[in-house]
Amino acid sequence: MAIYFDKQTKTFYLESKQSTYAFRVNEFGFLNHLYFGKKIARDDLCYSVHVQDRGQENFLPGCGRTHSLNQYYNECPTIGRSDYRESMIALCDARYSRVSELKYASHKVLSAKPEIDGMPSLRGGKTLAVTLKDEYNNSEVILYYTVYDELPVILRRAEIVNKGKQALKIDRAYSFCLDLDDNNWEALTLHGAWARERFIERTPLHHGIFTIDSKRCSSSGQLNPFMALCRPNADENSGEVIGFNLVYSGSYAIKAQVNQFEYLRVVGGINDYDFEWELKSGEKFSTPEAVMVYSDGGIGKMSRTFHDLYRTYLINPRYVDKPRPIVINNWEATYFNFDTKKLCDIIDSVKGTGIDTLVLDDGWFGERNNDKCGLGDWFINYNKLPDGLTPIIEHAHKNGMKFGLWFEPEMISENSDLYRAHPDWAIQVPGIKPCPGRDQLILDLTRDDVVNYVIKVVSDILDNNDIDYVKWDMNRTMTENYSEHLGKNNKEMHHRYILGLYKICEALVNGYPHIFFEGCASGGCRFDPAMLYYFPQIWTSDDTDAYMRTMIQYGTSIVYPLSAMSCHVSDCPNHQTHRTTPLASRADVAHLGATGYELDTTKFSDDFRVQVKEQVEAYKKMENLVLFGDLYRLGCSQNSNYFAEQIVSKDKTLSHITVMRALAYPNFTIYRLYPKGLDEKATYHVEELDLTLSGSTLMNVGFIVHFGGGDFITRTFTIKKV
């Protein structure tokens, strides 16, 4: 791993074993991007810079008719000085001028990667900090670049410091800018909705701006904060791909802009929609971190890089490589209708199956007997559970099971004691009726008193009950962006809310290191790297239909590791799609993540219980692959009749494949599967087919999968090196 500065050419080379990222300080002091891609030698790259006199361009004063910033590849573009593309930073000074020019002042290689004030970020790597000074408005911008030896990754972020005496206004503070030579790329994004999260979409870029964003103060239900540029010929297994992902849970934007010279600029960070930030004299503003991954091996290699990066440097090391709890969650079993006996019966009913954790979902607190009330009242509902949580927790522990509890700490119901006591704690504008969303409002986490209250009230439950697991939900996105105490700075609201949220996460996750935290937001509607920093796994979707899950989990795996996805077997007909799929298929698909169950196990027949026991045993055999393995996506049900994913151990001695055929057709074509990622020279045994073949034969000749009759049938294969 190297960060190298060539004093002669003033060029920075940020190198991993596989990639180079290069930029230089040009003759005017701007940071001029030179290259991001496959590893190259440390040659002088100035020859590759091209500027020319072009009509209708404006030029920097005193530089003749060639030096227009519109022609430069800039590491940190601003506005007002001849660059008409999207800026990374936009500031407004005390005289209301927005003209700014950020020029190189100094740089240093840091001995340790600094944390970001109040925000999660990745660990490790080597970090370069380059300080730029603005010519006109007394600001300084520090650009941070982190590089990892073994992974083709660059992390970027910025800090804006007000060095002047008067306040500055930040109109935009994005985390990164990447300027590329040509627009011969397509954008791959992950769009979705509740119960249909992270579907893949690929679209050609065009002149103008292609934007994905969120304005909801929540990162990702509709569009994940992720975009990849793919060469048109790039596919799952080959071709150049560059992936961008924001370590942020609030409103964001990522934009890919093609200008009239066919240059491509990608920028992204906190959404500047309804955003402004007052930066007083001496203050500093930090952007969230952005992750950039380079792949010369298609989308699959990009995903494997993200997975390795997040498992090694992002997700809580306390949990990331530990076997995950095998959960029985009572939500779809009982909804709000449960009592102590029912919960103890559920515990009894899974005895001997290997299921090891009961998670008590929504409805145990306040007057919460439906979803219209009670949020905020984090006190046990003694009408429903007369002896509190203790008998259930003790019953679980006595039976060798752990106990988990659901919270939705960020929310408040209008029909709650908390709201009656503190109506001003809910986000709304006095005199304007708030837009309802699941009949609840959001607590104003921009206020310290509210943040402290949430920490205290959740801590009280955790302190007084022997809880092993928390499911942290969030079921409403923001509408009335307003907080009275922020006054004229109300456009700081979304970001301040997210900082408040991180404060709570920090206090609870670090305050209770023995508790395993799972994230959730109406299923997978806030599935982003910042949430993964706190919660080692996230409920992937409220949609547990096995067929839909092949698409949702496939799309999620484009960025996020399998071990980060909670995947449950639920009842049929499925509660979201009303589809019936075989139990075996539901389990096979749920095994491609942190598996669990979500159905009324008290209704299990003996036969069903035996099947569940066998499923858990099968999962345990492949669990290390889910936690540590390399993922190869072999078939995508979003655009074909087949879904197939393969996981290969890092040492290539063990591999697991799951295939689903969606619909059965009579006399249809055969389905031949070509495994990947094996050692060509090694010999492998495919257990289910009793076939012993070389890695090269398996990968090149493949084998035919026989499904028999029926829809949504899965087959699994275990491949072992002999």
Distance of CA 373 to the CA centre of its chain: 30
Up-side HSE of residue 112: CA atoms within 13 Å toward CB?
A: 4
Q: How far is the CB of 554 from ligand GLA (least distance, A)?
A: 20
State the catalytic residue, choosing from 356, 444, 542, 545: 542
Give SS3 for 605. Answer: coil
- 686's CB contacts (< 8 A; 6+ apart) are 692, 693, 698, 703, 717, 718, 719
Alpha carbon separation from 594 to 36, 183, 326, 657 (Å, rounded): 35, 39, 8, 16
Residue 99 CB, nearest approach to ligand GLA (Å)? 47
Q: Which segment (146-154, 217-225, 520-528, 635-643) binds ligand GLA by CB under 6 A?
A: 520-528
Residue 291 or 458: the one with the smaller Cβ distance to ligand GLA is 458
Q: Which is nearer to ligand GLA, 16 or 540 (CB)?
A: 540
361 catalytic per annotation: no
Shortest distance, position 476 Cβ to ligand GLA, whole Å: 10
Q: In whole angstroms, what is the distance from residue 717 CA to residue 648 CA?
A: 12
Question: Residue 362 interacts with ligand GLA (CB under 6 A)?
Answer: yes
Question: Which pair of structure tokens corresponds to residue 320?
Answer: 């990331």
Using CB under 6 A as the criterion, what x/- string covers residues 236-265 for binding ligand GLA?
Answer: ------------------------------
- Distances in Å between the Cα of 654 and the Cα atoms of 584, 624, 697, 719 are 22, 10, 16, 6
Catalytic residue selected from 179, 296, 473, 545: 473
Task: Between 263 and 331, name the residue whose CB sits nearer to ligand GLA.
Answer: 331
- Contact between 545 and ligand GLA per CB under 6 A: no
Least CB distance to ligand GLA at residue 598 (A): 8
What span, in angstroms and rounded, lies between the C-alpha atoms of 458 and 84? 49
Give the DSSP per-residue string, 701-715.
Answer: H-EEEP--SSSSEEE
Report the distance separating Cα 607 and Cα 73, nearest Å. Answer: 65
Please give the Cα distance from 476 to 630 (Å, whole number): 35
CA-based nearest residue to 591, from 615, 558, 557, 560: 615
Tell me whether the omega of the peptide bond preceding residue 317 falls within 30 degrees of 0, making it cis. no
CA proximity to 285, closest of 54, 63, 410, 117: 117
Judged by beta carbon, residue 201 or residue 439, the one nearer ligand GLA is 439
Cα separation of 131 and 142, whole Å? 4
C-beta closer to ligand GLA: residue 199 or 335: 335
Q: Which stretch binds ligand GLA (CB under 6 A): 56-64, 98-106, 517-525, 660-668?
A: 517-525
In 3-state terms, what secondary structure has residue 169? strand
CA distance 69 to 84: 8
In the complex, what is the shortest distance from the CB of residue 585 to ligand GLA, in angstroms, rounded to a whole number?
Answer: 21
Closest-approach residue to ligand GLA (CB): 362
Q: What minimum distance in Å lies between the beta carbon of 221 and ligand GLA?
A: 11
Q: Which is nearer to ligand GLA, 245 or 440 (CB)?
A: 440
DSSP track, 464-532: HS---EEEE-------S---GGGGGGGGGHHHHHHHHHHHHHHHHHHH-TTSEEEE-BTTBTT--HHHH
Q: How far is the CB of 522 from ligand GLA (least distance, A)?
A: 5
Tell me: does residue 361 bind ligand GLA (CB under 6 A): yes
Piece of 164-172, 201-209, 519-527, 709-717 that binds ligand GLA (CB under 6 A): 519-527
Among 100, 481, 522, 550, binds ligand GLA (CB under 6 A): 522
Closest CA to 159 of 209, 121, 192, 123: 121
First to last CA, the chain: 36
Q: Cβ contacts of residue 696 below 8 Å, gap of 6+?
A: 680, 681
Torsion of CA 691, 692, 697, 701, to 10 degrees: 0
Stretch binding ligand GLA (CB under 6 A), from 248-256, 376-384, 483-491, 518-526: 518-526
One of 57, 75, 542, 545 touching ligand GLA (CB under 6 A): 542
Residue 512 has a CB neighbour count (10 Å cut-off) of 17
Of 450-509, which residues contact ligand GLA (CB under 6 A)?
Answer: 473, 475
Decide: 491 and 436 in contact? Cβ < 8 Å: no
Q: Does 406 bind ligand GLA (CB under 6 A)?
A: yes
Instruction: Tell me the closest approach of the beta carbon of residue 544 to ligand GLA, in angstroms.
Output: 9
Size of the site for ligand GLA (CB under 6 A): 12
Binding mask 416-455 for ligand GLA (x = CB under 6 A): ----------------------------------------
Specify the residue, 231 or 372, whose C-beta has the smaller distance to ligand GLA. Answer: 372
Among 88, 520, 538, 698, interactor with ligand GLA by CB under 6 A: 520
Residue 242, both tokens: 């560059």
8 Å CB contact between 21 and 145: yes
Minimal distance, residue 208 CB to ligand GLA, in Å? 37
Question: Smaller CB distance to ligand GLA: residue 501 or 627?
Answer: 501
Nearer to ligand GLA, 522 or 537 (CB): 522
Residues 77, 225, 523, 596: which binds ligand GLA (CB under 6 A)?
523
Give the DSSP letter of residue 6: E
Binding mask 609-638 for ligand GLA (x = CB under 6 A): ------------------------------
Backbone angles phi, psi at 143, to 5 degrees: -95, 130
Region of 172-180, 303-311, 516-524, 610-618 interacting with ligand GLA (CB under 6 A): 516-524
Is 473 in the active site?
A: yes
Beta carbon of residue 261, minimum distance to ligand GLA (angstroms, whole number):
47
SS3 assignment, position 271: coil
Q: Report in angstroms how near the CB of residue 438 gets to ligand GLA at its nearest.
A: 8
Shortest reach from residue 214's CB to ligand GLA, in Å? 18
Q: Which stretch binds ligand GLA (CB under 6 A): 221-229, 281-289, 344-352, 515-523?
A: 515-523
Cα four-point dihedral sign 70, 273, 502, 218: negative
Of 87 and 522, which has the nearer Cβ to ligand GLA? Answer: 522
Does 331 contact ligand GLA by CB under 6 A? yes
Q: Give the Å distances, CA to CA, from 561 to 225, 321, 388.
A: 16, 12, 37
Q: Are 251 and 224 in contact (CB under 8 A)?
A: no
Nearer to ligand GLA by Cβ, of 243 and 593: the residue is 593
Distance CA(169)–CA(60), nearest Å, equals 24
> Using CB under 6 A, which residues numbered 368 to 387 contact ligand GLA?
371
Residues taking part in catalysis: 473, 542
Residues engaged in binding ligand GLA (CB under 6 A): 331, 361-362, 371, 406, 473, 475, 520, 522-523, 539, 542
